[in-house]
Each structure stands twice: as C-alpha cells, then as structure tokens.
Amino acid sequence: MLFTILFLLFVGLGAGVITGLIGASAVGFVVPLLVVVMDIDPYLAIGISLTIDVVASFFASHTYFTHGNIDLKVGGQIAVPAVAGALFGSWFSSFIPSTSLGGLAGIVTVIIGVNFLRKPMSSYVKSFKKKMDLSFLQENKILFSVVFGFIIGTICGTMGAGGGMMILLVLVFILDYRVHEAVGTSVLIMVFTALSGSLGHAVYGEFSLYYVFLGCIGGAVGAKTAASFANVVSEERLGRIVGVIFIILGSIMIVKQFFL
C-alpha cells in the first residue's frame, strides 16, 4: 500500500515537471511506468495519464498566464474541435486490444524521446520554416486550426496524450507564434483536450479514482514548480534528459507488450 502511494505520487510529480517545463503530455512518462511497474491495463493507464494531464496543465497554464504567455482567443479556436476529437478518440480506443494499445503507446514514447535527444524544439522550428513554404497554411489559419485541432484531439483521446507538443507545432508553424507563448497556449488547450479524453475513458472503460487522485497530487506540485522555473532551464539539456527517459520507458513497454 505504501509503495503504491509513493509510486503514484512520484509518477504524478514527474509528469507534472515535464508538462510544466516543456508543455509535453504525461503519456510518455505515466503510461510506461504504470504498465511496466504496476502491471496496470494500458487502457486504464491512459485514462490516468489524461487526468494527470488535466491537473498538471491547469497549474502550469496559470503560471504561464501570469507571465502573459497565453492567447485565450486562439486557444479557444483550437480547443473546441480538439475536445470533439478527444471524445471520439477515447471511444475509438476502447475497441483496440490492450496489447496493441500498450505497444503503440510504447512506440510513440520512443519516437518522442528520440526527437528530444536530436535537438531542441527551437531548432526544429527554424529548420522547418527554412525548408517549407507555409504561406497557404498561414493564409487559412482558422480553417487549419480547426482541422488540426480535431486531428490532434483524436490522437490525444486514443493514445492518452494531452497533445501539448502537437498543439505547439500548430501554433508555431501555422499561427507563427513565439515558442514561449506557444508553449503557454498549448498547455492551456491541453487542459480541455485531456479533460474530454479522461471523461471518455471513464465512460467507456475502467477507471480508478484512487490512482488518479494520488497521481494528480504529484502532478499539481510538479507542474507548478517546474513552470515557475521554465524560463531558466536550458532547452537543450532538458530535452536530452527527457529524451533518454522516454526512450528507456518506451523500449521497456514495447518489450513487455510484444515479447513477454
């Protein structure tokens, strides 16, 4: 019992730190640990991950808002279709076998980790803008915000991710936001996408309020603390640390789901 309490607090704390610092979803940290260490069903683990995302994103977004790094108008344009997509994704994921769902989440976790290791987000932004002509997207910002919002929401509901990093890409590439302001706005949107996804998981499948409660306590503390120090953390160093953790956890999850 004591191990379960401390472990869930640790999982929530780690997820909150990741969300608060770089606006990433808790899925890459929470799901692998819950599945591998506590042998929790992947569908339940994803529901817990989404709920921790809600709380962590709420506390992180409050900090970003106090620093003037959130655009409420644009956030609403993306959040509405994203919420609809998250509800659809949560329903759809209930039909996916647990083994496939867990393995898919592990693969996504490894991919996220590799990208964090390669280079920081700002480098991807600069490189992409130099190579691609995004004028068509930027001339139809509202339309593509709605389309991408729904797609991101669907992925979030299916995979248990709050979509923070994907939303960040839309804000930076399509709406031409500064990275710092994009992180704040994406974290705010993630509150609503993760909430709709977690509600969907609670309705369509198993849900544990006990696990969620403990995880959210850690998530709130981690997110609030990390967001307060986000401006003084080296993006490159942070990305490498998170990348290594994601790759290790994702690899263990893949092995457990497909080979053990």
134-159 pLDDT tens trace: 666 666 667 777 777 787 777 766 66
Angle between helices 42-66 and 2-22 (to 10 degrees): 50
- Give the model confidence (pLDDT) of 208-242 as tens digits: 788 889 899 999 999 999 888 876 766 666 667 66
What is the C-alpha radius of gyration for the chain, rounded to an integer number of angstroms? 17
Report how many domains make up the chain: 1
Q: Label residues 235-254 b or e (16+ Cβ within 10 Å = b).
A: beebbbebbebbbebbbbbb
DSSP string for residues in 45-106: HHHHHHHHHHHHHHHHHHHHHHTT---HHHHHHHHHHHHHHHHHHHHHHTTS-HHHHHHHHH
- What pLDDT, on the 0 to 100 scale, is given for residue 120? 64
Q: How much is the average pLDDT of 21-29? A: 74
Q: Give the sign of the dihedral formed by CA 98, CA 104, CA 110, CA 115.
A: negative
How much is the pTM? 0.73
Q: How confident is the model at residue 9, as a pLDDT?
A: 92
**pLDDT tens figures, 37-74:** 888 888 788 888 888 989 999 999 998 888 888 888 77
Judging by beta carbons within 10 Å of its beta carbon (0-12, 13-18, 19+), is residue 121 exposed, middle or buried? buried
Range among 13-22, 31-40, 58-67, 238-247 with highest mean pLDDT value? 58-67
Q: Give residue-wise pLDDT tens across range 162-198.
A: 566 677 767 776 777 776 777 788 888 888 877 877 7
pLDDT at 186: 81
Tokens 């920081």 found at = 120
**Domain region containing 213:** 2-259
Are 81 and 149 in contact, with CB atoms under 8 Å apart? Answer: yes
